[in-house]
């Protein structure tokens, strides 16, 4: 019986955050600190003829200015195709040309205006299909597309297949081929990007107060960029005001800030304005997906064949690797006997995409789940039924080699079908101005980390001090998602130490052990397992000393209320620690542990069991469409997710609701509007995020499958809630109107245009679908 796990616990440092006392990057002020500002290109595609900084340098208060000519640095990015400061050419509207450090932010911004740049404007390439043409010039001079992929503008390419595609096509009764277009959206963290850098020129050490999600990879990347030794770089993470994947890559402004600090000899801080945040921070990958899928006369899936063209933008980030995740959904979301997957990321003069919660999976799932509805419609089968007969199951080893040792796919589907009154809504006649619809969407995502880097591990150091307080030093990171709280809960559960006596230290690379970073919904899983490993070691130490002190033989101690107990024997934990310290063996009560998940690298064909376990979820979303205004209103969201085991219910619910809000925005309102490489809506006024009044009622039904790989049976949960949301909403709108949307967001304008099209939808088109049969 668990005392702590499974019960709601408040956020560990929630009081600091809710009282304004938490220190974010924006709140840091160091003595003699300068403020940095970056000059970005005026045109998305141009040659730089000359840069004149003389007027800016003579402005009172300006301490230093850097351009590409002043620095000796390496390119950055996943493909090392991205110069920190640009010279010769600029390739997208984010491009950094010069940076200023000045006594105040106002002076730095003014100095930027005084830098004179002469450009020769070039015609840019903003369409990836155009970029692939033979006659189109090369966009990124460092790109290796010609050598690696046979096209100069190809940045990255993935191919995957399993099964016999032709055989499965021949078996198919229904084949659906559709083209889907996904927009560019952005993280829109409420805290804008920020960094503070300080260089110690006595020992050549650089300290960065950075919001990175991956401090140890970041340390390595900054070191490579600046030609420094990684260990001379100390990364301190202040409280981070939102991540969602945006801080997985190191971005040019970060080494630029370091360079300004090195050159000026003073600390320098760069804070983005909201406009700069929209223009210069990463986006989700926009892409065009052409998906062909088939099923036999019983509705059993036969094959999936997909070709994806991703708009990489001008440079290559981690975002180019999203096909790792996408191919998992194409190959393994539902049972798929044969699959062929091709994805190409293509350079354009658009801004480059990065990673974003879900990592390609919302795009893939949108196409898969839309095609499923179309196949059901063609067969005259219920959209619920077709999903249930194809759903993943426990024990399945998919064509890609993913092994589902536990699997909540069918229970999740059944739950949302039942709870949403799916059959009843589908059977209700639907006429008049307001049309209601319900749509289904499911998803598969990694739940136990993802072995894409050489290690997917996490280190933990534990210390119990002479007074019985526990310090957990973890390699993992807190970006607001609540991992610190879960770690403290695990320690409370195992060691019986109250929350008030637990400290979590996780913000300093000079102190904390290695961890790959916060991504892939991995933190509670990997850091939790790492902590459990460390607790096992510290219990061995405590047990050995307690046995000696109490003169008993046991390894079956109960840890509760700061005590260790066995039958009638009991002793205070802090007393054991003091005896260990001040008497024999004169040791501190400290341990180190490193956890590496049991997952495997995929082979060169991308096959293998890449995660410690897998998360499954289904959503049934009910919408109401106003056929006069075109507005889509989300009424109810029913979400059921295989989380393995619920650790902190209130934290988990928060992940669900937050993910859903981002997913609903992706489905209905959010889009970065670019015209020839220039962003037209760089503000919260023009970029429509959901507000409190847009949020529907969320009904969450966790499925507990107790997967042995996870801490207490749990699985990663953070990304999943937004992955099937757009798919389910698109299906719901389609069911409401009888007209389908193949691109996101489904804006009022698109709805009205579709309703006014020459072939208006038939009322209640899909309402003849058969009800779901009962499954055991």
Partner 1 sequence: MILTFKINGEWVTQEIKPSLLLIDLIRDVLQLKGTKPGCLEGECGACSVIVNGDAINSCMYLAINVDGKEVTTIEGLENNENPLHQVQEKMLEHGAVQCGFCSPGMVMTTKAYSDKCIAEGITPTREEVKKSLEGNLCRCTGYAKIIDAAEAVYK
For binding to partner 1 (CB under 8 A), which residues are involved?
Answer: 8, 10-11, 14-24, 26-27, 187-192, 239-244, 273-274, 479-482, 650-651, 653-654, 656-662, 683-685, 689-693, 695, 698
- Tell me how far, at minimum, the Cβ of 190 lies from partner 1, in Å: 4
Among the listed residues 565, 574, 542, the one whose alpha carbon sits nearest the alpha carbon of residue 465: 574
- Least separation in angstroms between residue 652's CB and partner 1 is 9
Asked whether 713 and 652 are in contact (CB, 8 A), the reply is: no
Residues forming beta bridges with residue 345, ordered by sequence position: 156, 310
DSSP per-residue string spanning 610-641: -SSSEEEEEEEEEEEEETTT--EEEEEEEEEE
Cα separation, 683 vs 511, in Å, equals: 38
Closest distance of CB 638 from partner 1, Å: 14
Closest to partner 1 by CB, 194 vs 383, is: 194
Q: Kindly state the smallest distance separating residue 733's Cβ from partner 1, in Å.
A: 20
Q: Which is nearer to partner 1, 27 or 768 (CB)?
A: 27
CA distance 488 to 577: 20
Going from the C-alpha of 211 to that of each of 193, 254, 460, the distances in angstroms are: 8, 10, 21
- C-beta closer to partner 1: residue 635 or 689: 689
Distance CA 285, CA 689 (A): 18
Minimum distance, C-beta of residue 75 to partner 1, in the bound complex (Å): 31
Q: How far, in Å, CA of 559 to CA of 546, rounded?
A: 12
CB of 476 or CB of 611, closer to partner 1: 476
Measured distance CA(745)–CA(664) in Å, rounded: 9
Residue with smaller CB distance to partner 1, 468 or 718: 718
Nearer of residues 683 and 773 to partner 1, judged by Cβ: 683
Choice between 100 and 479, CB closer to partner 1: 479
Which alpha helices (H) appear in 53-209, and where do they start and end?
54-57, 105-114, 128-131, 145-149, 165-171
- Pair type for strands 205-210 and 194-200: antiparallel
- Whether the Cβ atoms of residue 428 and residue 411 lie closer than 8 Å to each other: no
Q: Which is nearer to partner 1, 19 or 50 (CB)?
A: 19
The least distance separating partner 1 from the CB of residue 671, rounded to whole angstroms, comes to: 16
Residue entry with tokens 């658009």 = 350
Name the minimum Å distance from CB 744 to partner 1.
18
Find out whether 611 and 448 touch, Cβ atoms under 8 Å: yes
In the complex, the smallest distance separating the C-beta of residue 702 from partner 1, rounded to whole angstroms, is 15
Q: Specify the residue for token string 């590496």.
A: 596
Return the closest-CA partner of residue 463 out of 482, 484, 443, 491. 491
* Interior angle at CA 459, CA 456 and CA 462, nearest 5: 160
Of 448 and 665, which CB lies nearer to partner 1 in the complex structure? 665
Phi, psi of 52 (to 5 degrees): -120, 115
Q: Output 567 or 692, the one with its CB closest to partner 1.
A: 692
727 contacts 368 by C-beta, under 8 angstroms: yes
Q: Which of helix, strand or coil describes residue 730?
A: helix
Whose tokens are 């957990």? That residue is: 472
What's the sign of the alpha-carbon dihedral 170, 171, 177, 180? negative
Q: How far is CA 730 from the centre of its chain?
A: 22
In the complex, minimum distance from the CB of residue 696 to partner 1, in angstroms, rounded to a whole number: 9
Pick 656 or 678: Cβ nearer partner 1: 656
**Shortest approach of partner 1 to residue 684 CB, angstroms?**
4
C-beta of 281 vs 349, nearer to partner 1: 281
Rounded-to-integer distance, Cα 362 and Cα 184, Å: 12
Say how far apart CA 151 and CA 130 lie, in whole Å. 12
Minimal distance, residue 482 CB to partner 1, in Å: 7
3 state DSSP class of 294: strand
- If the CB atoms of residues 8 and 113 are measured against partner 1, the closer one turns out to be 8
CB of 637 to partner 1, least distance (A): 10
In whole angstroms, how close is the CB of 269 to partner 1 at the nearest point? 13
List, in sequence order, every residue forming a beta bridge with 308; answer none if it has no partner.
289, 343
Report how far residue 52's alpha carbon sits from residue 67's, in angstroms, rounded to the nearest whole number. Answer: 10
């Amino acid at each position: 019986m668990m005392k702590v796990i499974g019960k709601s616990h408040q956020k560990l440092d929630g009081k600091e955050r809710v009282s304004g006392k938490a220190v974010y990057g924006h709140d840091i002020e160091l003595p003699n600190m300068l403020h940095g500002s970056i000059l970005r290109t005026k045109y998305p595609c141009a040659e730089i003829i000359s840069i004149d900084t003389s007027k800016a340098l003579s402005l009172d208060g300006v301490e230093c200015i850097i351009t590409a000519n002043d620095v000796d640095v390496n390119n950055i990015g996943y493909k090392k195709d991205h110069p920190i400061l640009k010279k010769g050419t600029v390739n997208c509207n984010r491009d950094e040309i010069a940076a200023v450090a000045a006594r105040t932010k106002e002076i730095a911004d003014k100095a930027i205006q005084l830098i004179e740049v002469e450009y020769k404007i070039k015609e840019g390439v903003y369409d990836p299909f155009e970029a692939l043409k033979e006659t189109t010039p090369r966009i990124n001079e460092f790109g290796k597309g010609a050598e690696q992929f046979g096209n100069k503008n190809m940045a990255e390419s993935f191919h995957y297949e399993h099964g016999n595609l032709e055989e499965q096509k021949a078996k198919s009764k229904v084949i659906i081929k559709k083209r889907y277009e996904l927009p560019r959206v952005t993280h829109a963290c409420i805290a804008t990007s920020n960094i503070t850098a300080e260089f110690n020129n006595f020992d050549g050490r650089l300290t960065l107060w950075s919001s990175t999600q991956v401090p140890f990879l970041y340390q390595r990347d900054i070191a490579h960029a600046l030609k420094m030794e990684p260990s001379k770089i100390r990364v301190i993470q202040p409280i981070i005001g939102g991540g969602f994947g945006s801080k997985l890559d190191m971005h040019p402004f970060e080494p630029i800030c370091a360079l300004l600090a090195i050159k000026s000899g003073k600390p320098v801080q760069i804070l983005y304005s909201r406009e700069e945040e929209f223009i210069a921070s990463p986006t989700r990958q926009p892409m065009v997906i052409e998906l062909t899928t088939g099923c036999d006369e019983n509705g059993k899936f036969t094959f999936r064949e997909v070709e994806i063209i991703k708009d990489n933008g001008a440079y290559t980030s981690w975002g180019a690797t999203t096909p790792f995740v996408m191919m998992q959904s194409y190959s393994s979301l539902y049972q798929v006997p044969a699959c062929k997957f091709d994805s190409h990321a293509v350079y354009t003069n658009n801004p480059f995409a990065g990673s974003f919660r879900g990592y390609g999976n919302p795009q893939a799932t949108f196409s898969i789940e839309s095609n499923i509805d179309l196949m059901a419609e063609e067969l005259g089968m219920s959209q619920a039924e077709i999903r249930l007969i194809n759903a993943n199951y426990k024990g399945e080893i998919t064509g890609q080699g993913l092994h589902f040792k536990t699997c909540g796919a069918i229970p999740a589907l059944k739950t949302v079908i039942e709870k949403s009154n799916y059959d009843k809504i589908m059977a209700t006649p639907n006429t008049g101005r307001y049309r209601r619809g319900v749509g289904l969407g499911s998803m598969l995502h990694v739940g136990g980390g993802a072995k894409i880097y050489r290690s997917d591990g996490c280190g933990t150091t534990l210390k119990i001090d002479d007074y019985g307080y526990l310090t957990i030093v973890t390699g993992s990171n807190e970006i607001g998602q609540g991992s610190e709280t879960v770690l403290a809960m695990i320690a409370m559960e195992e060691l019986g130490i109250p929350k008030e006596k637990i400290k979590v230290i996780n913000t300093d690379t000079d102190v904390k052990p290695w961890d790959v970073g916060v991504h892939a919904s991995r933190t509670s899983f990997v850091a939790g397992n790492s902590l459990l490993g460390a607790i096992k070691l510290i219990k061995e130490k405590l047990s050995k000393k307690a046995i000696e002190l109490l003169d008993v033989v046991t390894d079956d101690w109960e840890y509760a209320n700061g005590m260790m107990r066995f039958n009638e024997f009991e002793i205070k934990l802090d007393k054991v620690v003091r005896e260990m310290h001040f008497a024999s063996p004169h040791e501190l009560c400290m341990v180190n542990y490193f956890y590496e998940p049991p997952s495997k690298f995929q082979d060169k064909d991308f096959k293998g069991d890449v995660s410690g376990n897998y998360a499954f979820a289904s959503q049934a979303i009910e919408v109401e469409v106003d056929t006069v205004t075109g507005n889509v209103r989300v009424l109810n969201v029913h979400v059921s997710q295989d989380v393995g085991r619920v650790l902190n219910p209130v934290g988990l619910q928060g992940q669900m609701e937050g993910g859903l809000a981002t997913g609903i925005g992706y489905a209905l309102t959010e889009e970065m509007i670019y015209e020839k490489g220039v962003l037209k809506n760089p503000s919260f006024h023009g970029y429509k995020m959901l507000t409190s009044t847009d949020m529907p009622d969320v009904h969450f039904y966790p499925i507990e499958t107790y997967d042995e790989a996870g801490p207490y049976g749990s699985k990663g949960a953070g990304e999943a809630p937004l992955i099937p949301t757009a798919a389910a909403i698109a299906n719901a709108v389609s069911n409401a109107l009888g007209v389908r949307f193949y691109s996101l967001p489904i804006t009022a304008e698109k709805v009205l245009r579709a309703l006014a099209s020459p072939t208006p939808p038939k009322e209640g088109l899909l309402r003849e679908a058969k009800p779901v049969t009962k499954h055991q």
